[in-house]
Amino acid sequence: MPAPSETRIGELFVRTKEQGRAAFLAYLTAGDPDPDRTAELVLALERGGADLIELGLPFSDPIADGPVIQRASDRALRAGMNLPRLLASVRQIRRASQIPLLLFSYMNPLLRYGFERLAADAGEAGIDGVLLTDLSVEEAAEPVAQLRSRNLDTVFLAAPTSTERRLELVARHSSGFVYLVSRTGVTGERAAVAPGVTELIERARRHTALPLAVGFGISTPDQVAAMGAVCEGVIVGSAIVSLIEKHGASPDLPRHLETFTACLTAPLRHAPAAAPGQHR
């Protein structure tokens, strides 16, 4: 099984384990509503209690994402966001914060940029890892090796429909944490977390000792609390992107984002300490 990561991501999960709570991972579409505001929005999420930021690189065909993030990608692309500008935003963030940053991307823009160049430039800018949404784990060895050579974590997705073989490969190629998709389908807010997620967590634990973080469909404090009780990380994306869509033209957007994030993270900050021997 993979050893714990020595990146900021690995250090984060060590710290939250010591604190007896799950980490809160927030997704943000980089460049939405304006590439020049990405850094200030990341800092607002951090002030609200986010422990790690997934910076989504906008893409013209985001097949895993629902309408909310699709619209955000379209807005960001129209505003001129691309990978070099995202890395410039990361350098700006690093002047003010050491929060773990995970690049969330589809393969096409990364292939066009080149993985060797990506690994060098992302590492230099201050990215801590890359989440490769549509890279088949059966073909992941070379990109993973290039990214790991620059001490970048590589994160892969597992879903309720994943076979045991796929869970094994996801565990093999992941570092930092494993991203568990709570249900089949695309991203988006839901009234309730899918009931099959607990079984997925149990299956994934048989293949890896890495932290497990659950995303897709989590959008309320109650849902955050429920997931935080059974895994090491809770991921919220569409609810955050939806708020940015609603207040994108407002100069008070960072304040709205900080307040909303503080509401979502409150159950984790107030979580009881883990019992001795408990996994988290």
The tens digit of pLDDT for each residue in 164-173 reads 999 999 999 9
Looking at the domain assignment, is residue 92 inside a domain?
A: yes
Which pLDDT belongs to residue 191? Answer: 45
Question: Is there a domain that residue 277 lies in?
Answer: no
**pLDDT surpasses 70 at 276:** no
Residue 36 covered by a domain? yes
Whole-prediction pTM value? 0.91
Distance CA 80, CA 36 (A): 10
In this structure, what are the phi and psi dihedrals at residue 118, rounded to the nearest 5 degrees? -60, -50
- The answer as to whether 280 is a domain residue is no
Asked whether residue 114 is assigned to any structural domain, the reply reads yes
- Residue 230 and residue 197: Cα distance in Å, rounded? 10
Residue 139 lies in a domain: yes
The verdict on whether 65 is a catalytic residue reads yes
Which domain range does residue 77 map to? 8-266
User: Looking at per-residue confidence, does 6 or 209 come out higher?
Assistant: 209
Residues of the chain with pLDDT > 90, as a percent, come to 82
Q: Which of 32, 65, 189, 258 is catalytic?
A: 65
Q: Does residue 278 form part of some domain?
A: no
Per the structure, the count of domains in the chain is 1
- For 45, residues 6+ apart whose C-beta sits below 8 A from its C-beta are 26, 28, 53, 240, 257, 258, 261
pLDDT higher than threshold 50 for residue 275: no
Cα–Cα distances in angstroms (integers) from residue 110 to residues 206, 254, 261, in the given order: 31, 29, 30
Residues paired with 24 in a beta bridge: 234
- Domain assignment of residue 271, yes or no: no
274 pLDDT more than 80: no
Q: With a cut of 60, say whether residue 2 has pLDDT above it.
A: no
Contact between residue 223 and residue 200 where contact means Cβ atoms under 8 Å apart: no
**pLDDT bracket for residue 6 (50, 70, 90):** confident
Per-residue model confidence as pLDDT tens digits over 111-120: 999 999 999 9
| pLDDT for 81 beyond 80 | yes
The number of CA neighbours under 13 Å toward the Cβ of 24 is 29
Given 32, 54, 189, 232, the catalytic residue: 54
CATH of residue 258? 3.20.20.70
